[in-house]
């Protein structure tokens, strides 16, 4: 099963490969140019000087081409990261097909993970509100990137000064010893091209790194200062974050290795002492209150019950959940879809995905996802096993009465799932 982290890694590795070959071509071009400058012009050396200059020009063109390819694949990786965050907010299961059309490499993959993100990639607080959860992931990226952009800025500034000194020295040698040799006109032009290419690239990177650092710091301070609980607030912050990421230069992998532990430790302390999750039970209450009012207003008596991790929170045996799962009677699935159409993300349908099939619809109220399902079956050893008939119990959640699935029902479902995974 391929996840988004592996897909991003594929494009970043290709970008890095082209970057390394490009730097190698540039080094050869610079070396050959300096050799052509230092060779003393005499009849037998004229051909060698021209040859060095021509080969240096070829390597310079290769450098430009490889730089273009490196930036192209780096942009693909960044775009994929943006699509991942969009998928994380919308949770549309079919977005993988959209990504497959967007990225040709995806078509070669036999299976794509439907999970919105690899959990090992982020270390954020548990959060039921999808906008706040995604904002914390953006915040974690900002925490890392603002530090690393500053380091890359300092490194590039040092390299710019070093390259300036090297080429100033090269021009000095050329002026003092070879100023009147017409044979070296081509070499002089080549040296100017090399100098301008490197200087423009480094100055462009330094300006972009400075802007990226300032933008990341600004976004970081806003996200850590106030919660992001609505699509409007998240849309504003995500747009600014995405614009910054797209324009910022790539961060060398060496910096991740050098400062990874320090940044991980710092982020863990930030999560522990400064970041606060939403009140899960309050968010569940607010969402179920709306659902109950809508269902009760229906002319039909809709049979429904909360299940999964949300029922554990209501029961008091768990503190957090990512969404609200609801099981309903098969006879009411399409009526429920019509009642909740204002909050619909995925239309209710008879769905089969890998080894599970059911009537399934996805909805979002505020920033809370609601998965509604009926007639759930799991595929075990090429046989479809139906979940047991619904068993529910009444619970009072603050001032409303709702139904949740019984412990016995959930244990029966867990046994089926354990069989599926061979446990």
How far does CA 165 lie from the centroid of its chain?
A: 39
**Whether residues 262 and 233 fall in one domain:** yes
C-beta of residue 46 within 8 angstroms of C-beta of residue 183: yes
**Whether residues 244 and 374 fall in one domain:** no
Whole-angstrom CA distances from 144 to 29, 133, 151, 243 are 35, 17, 11, 17
Tens of pLDDT, residue by residue over 71-104, are 888 888 877 777 676 666 665 554 555 455 445 5
In 3D, which of 406, 84, 127 has the Cα closest to residue 271?
127
The one-character DSSP state at 390 is P
C-beta of residue 15 within 8 angstroms of C-beta of residue 70: yes
**Whether residues 265 and 304 fall in one domain:** no
The pTM is what? 0.74
**Whether residues 239 and 306 fall in one domain:** no
Cα(326)–Cα(341) distance, rounded to whole angstroms? 16
Mean pLDDT of 377-386: 89
**Whether residues 182 and 35 fall in one domain:** yes
Mean pLDDT of 406-415: 93
**Whether residues 145 and 94 fall in one domain:** yes
End position of a domain, from candidates 273, 297, 331: 273
Cα(287)–Cα(343) distance, rounded to whole angstroms? 11
**Whether residues 72 and 216 fall in one domain:** yes
If pLDDT is split at 50, 70 and 90, which confidence band does 405 have? very high
**Whether residues 268 and 318 fall in one domain:** no
**Whether residues 134 and 262 fall in one domain:** yes
Statement: residue 113 has pLDDT above 50: no
Report the percent of the chain where pLDDT is more than 90: 36
Cα angle 208-199-173, degrees, rounded to a multiple of 5: 160
Q: Is the pLDDT higher at 404 or at 13?
A: 404
Number of domains in the chain: 2
In 3D, which of 80, 102, 101, 83 has the Cα closest to residue 92?
83
End position of a domain, from candidates 273, 294, 324: 273
Averaged confidence pLDDT in the chain: 81
CATH of residue 396 = 3.30.460.40
End position of a domain, from candidates 273, 306, 332: 273
Residues 312, 313, 318, 321: is their CA dihedral positive or negative?
positive
**Whether residues 259 and 289 fall in one domain:** no
Cα(135)–Cα(196) distance, rounded to whole angstroms? 41
Tens of pLDDT, residue by residue over 232-291, are 888 888 888 888 887 888 888 889 889 999 999 999 999 888 887 788 999 999 999 999
Mean pLDDT of 199-216: 86
**Whether residues 259 and 342 fall in one domain:** no
**Whether residues 26 and 98 fall in one domain:** yes
Tens of pLDDT, residue by residue over 314-333, are 999 999 999 999 999 988 89
The one-character DSSP state at 128 is S
Q: Which domain does 170 fall in, by range? A: 4-273
Statement: residue 385 has pLDDT above 80: yes
């Amino acid at each position: 099963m391929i996840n988004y982290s592996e897909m991003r890694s594929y494009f970043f590795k290709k970008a890095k490969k082209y970057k390394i070959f490009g730097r190698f071509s540039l080094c050869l071009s610079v070396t050959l140019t300096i050799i052509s400058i230092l060779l003393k012009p005499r009849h037998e050396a004229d051909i060698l000087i021209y040859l060095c200059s021509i080969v240096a020009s070829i390597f310079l063109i290769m450098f430009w081409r490889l730089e273009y390819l490196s930036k192209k694949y780096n942009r693909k990786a960044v775009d994929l990261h943006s699509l991942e965050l969009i998928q994380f907010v919308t949770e549309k299961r079919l977005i993988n097909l959209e990504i497959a059309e967007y990225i040709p490499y995806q078509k070669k993959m036999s299976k794509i993970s439907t999970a919105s993100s690899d959990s090992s990639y982020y270390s954020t607080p548990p959060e039921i509100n999808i906008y706040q959860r995604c904002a914390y992931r953006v915040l974690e990226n900002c925490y890392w990137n603002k530090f690393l952009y500053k380091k890359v800025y300092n490194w590039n500034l040092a390299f710019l000064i070093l390259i300036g000194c090297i080429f100033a020295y090269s021009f000095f040698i050329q002026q003092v010893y070879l100023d009147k040799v017409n044979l070296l006109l081509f070499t002089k032009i080549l040296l100017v091209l090399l100098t301008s290419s490197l200087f423009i690239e480094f100055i462009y990177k330094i300006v972009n790194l400075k802007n990226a650092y300032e933008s990341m710091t600004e976004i970081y301070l806003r996200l850590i200062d106030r919660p992001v609980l609505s699509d409007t607030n998240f849309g504003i912050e995500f747009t600014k974050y995405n614009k910054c990421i797209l324009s910022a230069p790539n961060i060398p992998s060496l910096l991740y290795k050098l400062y990874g532990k320090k940044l991980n430790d710092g982020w863990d302390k930030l999560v522990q002492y400064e970041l606060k999750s939403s009140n899960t039970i309050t968010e569940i209450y607010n969402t179920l209150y709306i659902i109950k009012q809508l269902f009760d207003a229906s002319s039909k008596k809709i049979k429904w019950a909360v299940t999964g991790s949300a029922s554990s929170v209501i029961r008091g045996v768990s503190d957090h959940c990512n969404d609200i799962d609801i099981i309903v009677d098969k006879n009411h699935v399409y009526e429920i879809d019509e009642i909740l159409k204002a909050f619909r993300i995925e239309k209710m349908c008879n769905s089969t995905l890998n080894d599970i099939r059911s009537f399934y619809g996805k909805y979002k109220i505020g920033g809370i996802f609601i998965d509604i399902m009926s007639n759930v079956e799991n595929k075990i050893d090429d046989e479809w096993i139906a979940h047991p008939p619904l068993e529910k119990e009444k619970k009072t959640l603050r001032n409303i009465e709702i139904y949740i699935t019984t412990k016995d029902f959930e244990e029966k479902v867990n046994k089926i799932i354990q069989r599926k995974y061979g446990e």
